[in-house]
Structure 1
Amino acid sequence: MATKIDTVSSRDKLKPRREPYWHRVYKGCYLGYRKMAADSAGVWQARFSQEDGRKVTKSIGVLDDLPAHERFDKAINISREWFEHVGMGGATKAVTVLDACIDYASMVREKKGDKPADDLMARYRRWVEKDSIHKVELMKLTREHIKAFKRRLTAAPVKINKAGKMRERSKDSVNRDMATVRAALNYAKAEGKVTNDFAWSEGLKAYKNVSKRRELYLDRGQRRSFIEHAPDDLATFLRGLSMLPLRPGALAALKAGDFDARLSVLKIGQDKHGMDRKIKLPEATAVILKASAKNKLPTAPLFSRADGSAWNKDGWKWPIKKAATAATLPAGATAYTLRHSVISDLVHGGLDLLTVAQISGTSVAMIEKHYGHLRGEVAASALAKLAL
């Protein structure tokens, strides 16, 4: 005979015991109420029978934040959501937002390598692990959780110098961080950890029209002056950035063995997207890389500092700023400005966007977004040749 647990009076009459009193919700799906002591508020539990006969359970909790007469209805609603989740193949164990992020980073590490995975984990440690959302179970994640997380992410200031001066985060930066969390949650859904994306599908959408073009462009004369005002080791690094459309980190990661002097081919093995690619170099560029690789072991940095170590962001930041000032370059000139300038020249010179994207290590969509406006002059020049 079934035991009633749907009213406060019926639960008060129950004898304390370890085994829950079960209420049938659907076939194979039960809501349980465990009462361990006469004055206990009782604990709610859901139980689901799988096709192979195994039973899985989920603790719902005491629900003592609600009036006693509302707890059964709340427990029923929670259990039904879980039954639907499990019935559609969802995970039976609780998975938190941070768990989902770590799982996604592990998948990226396996498929794309350490660098992109390490970048993901750095973002997750900074913006998820330290935020209250990290412990929220995916099954309990709501739009309000996501909206609040997005507000905190947007409002978080960032330090801009050693003195601790702070500034507001740009929405473009917020978009990049949100994209990593959105990717993790979408992967969790694809893996059956949660059955729908209702909680984050809207809340983690990117801010629109906040990505700015990199407007600062250095012409060849300015680039030449930049190199001339830098120390010898930095000058070699800047020359590399002025000849190749690479991210500064990708150039710094190159090893002497990545350059095949016989074929004049450079392999880019470590970049933002973690995918290898090869670039056939013109003779002038190959000559400079041959000189840089001369007498170096294959594992040595192709573009090294004076002490033989590899360049990194902390190593080039201030020397580059000093060289830019000495060369009287526009304020804001950085290592990345050279990449932007080189890509601008390639696009303006008429090279098709697919090839530019391939050698730059990015997507055609990104090249189109940031440099597509330069194609207008190329088109105009081509149309001019049609004039009779």
Structure 2
Amino acid sequence: MALDLSRVGERERLKVQREPHWQRLRAGCFLGFRPSKRGGKGTWIARAYDEDAGKYRVKSLGDFGTLPGNEMFATAKKEAEALAELVEAGGQVRSKVETVADACREYSKARPEAGHRFRRYVYDDPIAKVKLSKLRRRHVKEWRERLEDQPALVSRRKEGEPIQRKRAPSTVNRDMAVLRAALAKVLSPGAPNSDAAWQEALKAVQNANGRRTLYLDRGQRRKLVEKTDAIAAPFVRGLCLLPLRPGALAALTAGDFDKRTAELSIGKDKTGKPRRIQLPTEAAKLLASQAASKLPGAPLFMRAIGKSWDKNSWKLPIAAAVAAAGLPSAATAYTLRHSTITDLVSAGLPLLTIAQISGTSAEMIERHYGHLSSDAAVKALGELAL
């Protein structure tokens, strides 16, 4: 008699063994079930024949532990048939994703910023080794508690102890968001208020994104550039002319700027999506001078050692210039981005346009800058140059 995995009772009577118990769904497509040695729900496996390779492609589907026993078969069957269709169409079976770390690596392949966060807070944490099929709310809750307990590093001084502070709720939200997104790619939400509801432990802290209040006017920004050392000054001036994230500006190469059209291609940014923007005259002149005599792959803004700027290398010269210019000590590279966006909003430039230039959403611009007056006539970005 043929095996019928749709019957809960029949699955429960299956012998525990290494090789799954297979049920043929159709030619070249099989669904397997491996009972748990420890009395768990067992694991579902899909198998599809690849005619081009002359072998079967196998994929573990997990235990579907959040579903009632009578719904597991239908869900597993659907995924097995989807795998067969993919293989028959010549598609590639996705690399094996079994643990939380596997899910994070898969997610970060096209998202470098997420990869940085995973390296800091996930891969060396106990949650990394937890199998996705066994992930429960308590695992994620414990990870979140460990994350919240980690102090945030304010500066890396060469001399003396590093300056640290309590991790802000907004920072916790950003760190949790990438893990939540990675897991959501491979896991369905668990039943609400159950231990399987892993997603509930990653809910964002409400009202955590406080409004940025430190603002440097154009005169203060001009003074800051004047007090910055000659090597870092072009990079700092670029931050004053364009409302880009410091990391996005630092990642630019000479080939990203088209002198003929005064267009800039921004590839590496928080959103992970490339975009092109038209530059005003003064910004175009700065980038043209930085790109002169450089190969396309060379950093557009280069440090003395020939490498790109990063958050550890731009902090010291900006902090020194802030002190020399007599500006508020809390001013940072991000203060320049905030100040430029503030000027654009105050000038009445459409929020959608500002969002496109700065690489964020109109919703975020409205949330952080919607309180500003926009009665003035619309001005071009170039009119805000130093």
Q: Would you say the 8 A contact 2:239–2:333 is kept in 1?
A: yes
C-alpha distance 197-288 of structure 1, shift in aligned 2 (>3 A): farther
Q: Would you say the 8 A contact 1:253–1:270 is kept in 2?
A: yes
Q: Choose 363-372 or 78-87, whichever is displaced more.
A: 78-87
Q: Would you say the 8 A contact 2:189–2:198 is kept in 1?
A: no
Name stretches of at least 5 consecutive residues in structure 1 with no aligned partner.
Answer: 1-22, 35-42, 65-76, 110-116, 383-388
Which of 294, 299, 310 is the equivalent residue of 1:296?
294
Q: What is residue 61 of structure 1 aligned with on the other side?
A: 37
Superposed, 1:361-372 pairs within 5 Å as: 361-372=359-370
Q: Would you say the 8 A contact 2:65–2:133 is kept in 1?
A: no
Q: Would you say the 8 A contact 1:29–1:48 is kept in 2?
A: no
Which of 371, 382, 385 is the equivalent residue of 1:373?
371
Q: What is residue 309 of structure 2 aligned with on the other side?
A: 311
Q: Distance in 2 between matches of 1:158 and 1:222?
A: 28
Q: Would you say the 8 A contact 1:46–1:60 is kept in 2?
A: no
Deviations 1:246-282 (A, max 9, x none): 1111111222222222222222222222222222222
Which of 177, 184, 197 is the equivalent residue of 1:186?
184
Q: Would you say the 8 A contact 1:254–1:302 is kept in 2?
A: yes
SS in 1 for 2:308: coil
Q: Would you say the 8 A contact 1:133–1:149 is kept in 2?
A: yes
Instruction: Give the structure-2-normalised TM-score.
Output: 0.74
Q: How many residues align?
A: 327
Q: What is residue 331 of structure 1 aligned with on the other side?
A: 329
Q: What is residue 169 of structure 2 aligned with on the other side?
A: 171
Q: Would you say the 8 A contact 2:189–2:199 is kept in 1?
A: no
C-alpha distance 261-188 of structure 1, shift in aligned 2 (>3 A): same
Q: What is residue 201 of structure 1 aligned with on the other side?
A: 199
Q: What is residue 99 of structure 1 aligned with on the other side?
A: 102
The residue type paired with residue 23 of structure 2 is S
Q: Would you say the 8 A contact 2:15–2:35 is kept in 1?
A: no
Superposed, 1:208-247 pairs within 5 Å as: 208-247=206-245
- For the aligned residues, what is the CA RMSD? 3.4
Q: What is residue 338 of structure 2 aligned with on the other side?
A: 340
C-alpha distance 346-131 of structure 1, shift in aligned 2 (>3 A): same
Q: What is residue 114 of structure 1 aligned with on the other side?
A: none
The residue type paired with residue 233 of structure 1 is I
In percent, how many aligned pairs have the same letter? Answer: 45
Q: Distance in 1 between matches of 2:66 and 2:371?
A: 54
Higher helix share: 1
Q: Is residue 2:94 matched to residue 1:118? A: no
Q: Distance in 1 between matches of 2:12 and 2:25?
A: 15
Q: Distance in 2 between matches of 1:79 and 1:58?
A: 17
Deviations 1:109-162 (A, max 9, x none): 2xxxxxxx2322222233222222223333332223332222222222334445
Q: Distance in 2 between matches of 1:85 and 1:195?
A: 15
Q: Deviation at 1:314? A: 1.9
Q: What is residue 151 of structure 2 aligned with on the other side?
A: 157
Name stretches of at least 5 consecutive residues in structure 2 with no aligned partner.
Answer: 41-63, 81-95, 378-386
SS in 1 for 2:147: helix
Q: Is residue 2:124 matched to residue 1:130? A: yes
Tell me which structure has the larger Cα radius of gyration: 1
